[in-house]
Structure 1
């Protein structure tokens, strides 16, 4: 029995020794150091953490008031964008997040824009309609509790969450999320087949929220 326990222990240690710092232990996890090396343009502002960080399981809500949590989306990479209707850089980058969802959203990746800090639903709906945001859900952090617990000090802030529900990277400020620089980094994270959903994946949910 002791030999069996030792064999299991050595196997676990060997597995851990092969992990790159900051790399999660789920099957098929990418080498984050290699992904980080791909950063160009706006993505140079995307800072990968040396180790994954836990994400608070705090509820936010959709346009109908139904609760959601980041843990609801386990199994996918999340591009979580904290924004506000009164934030000019947020409004400028939102169409690029909408296009990113069209380009790469699906079973492996989901863009989640979470409006925080003084946002009224009618203003969000009006912005979505005026700017043609069709593929993204309306999500609201009404008391900014999730933003505070995640250390969001200004807007916009975009957080990358891995399929295990851990924060692995963060970008502070505005970025072009639908350009080739962002697609190269996110494509390396999610691997082949990450853009198989296309336009149809996000249209239904977003259209229902924005009506």
Structure 2
């Protein structure tokens, strides 16, 4: 009897741990994020990217937070459409446990980035660059935009190639699922 109780308890706790931070991809697909794909917890790259002052940043700097890493470019029309929804998501859910990290990859001079942000009304997203596309290549980015969802341990959990409405309820639910203990 005691053995059965211990086995049952272990199964219950094991199942709960396995579902911690699990994304309901079926619900996400049904509710507007049809291109969101699962990734098997690949550790993210440690390649540096820069802020406008030339300071290096790394994805490991965000360990402990759920991160939405977005690769974009000033010449990218879908990026122009998507960026305001990324800012809305950051404004609503961003903080100690979640961060939208936008990285302009390729040749995107700072004046062009600032003009891009001004034209679309973005004020609260970081200006970070990957001019030589080292982080983008290491992350497997082949076009833009690409959004990568990273868990608190620094592992990629999902990816969406192309634009999306990140201010949608489906997107917010995906973030909440990743934040779940």
TM-score, structure 2 length as denominator? 0.86
For these two proteins, the number of residue pairs brought into alignment is: 170
Structure 1: state its 5+ residue gaps: 1-13, 193-211
Instruction: Provide the residue aligned with 1:81 in structure 2.
Output: 70
Instruction: Provide the residue aligned with 1:190 in structure 2.
Output: 179
Spell out the pairing of 1:94-133 with structure 2 (5 A cutoff): 94-133=83-122
Query: Distance between the aligned counterparts of 1:31 and 1:82, measured in 2?
Result: 23
Q: In the alignment, is the contact (CA less than 8 A) between 1:77 and 1:162 conserved in 2?
A: yes
Q: In the alignment, is the contact (CA less than 8 A) between 2:147 and 2:160 conserved in 1?
A: yes
Q: Which runs of 4+ in 1 moved over 6 A?
A: none
Query: Distance between the aligned counterparts of 1:178 and 1:66, measured in 2?
Result: 29
More RCO (CA 8 Å, sep 6+): 2
Is the counterpart of residue 53 in structure 1 residue 42 in structure 2?
A: yes
Instruction: Provide the residue aligned with 1:199 in structure 2.
Output: none
Instruction: Provide the residue aligned with 2:135 in structure 1.
Output: 146
Q: CA RMSD in A?
A: 2.2
**1:42 CA drift (Å):** 3.1
Q: In the alignment, is the contact (CA less than 8 A) between 2:51 and 2:127 conserved in 1?
A: yes
TM-score, structure 1 length as denominator? 0.75
Structure 2: state its 5+ residue gaps: 1-9
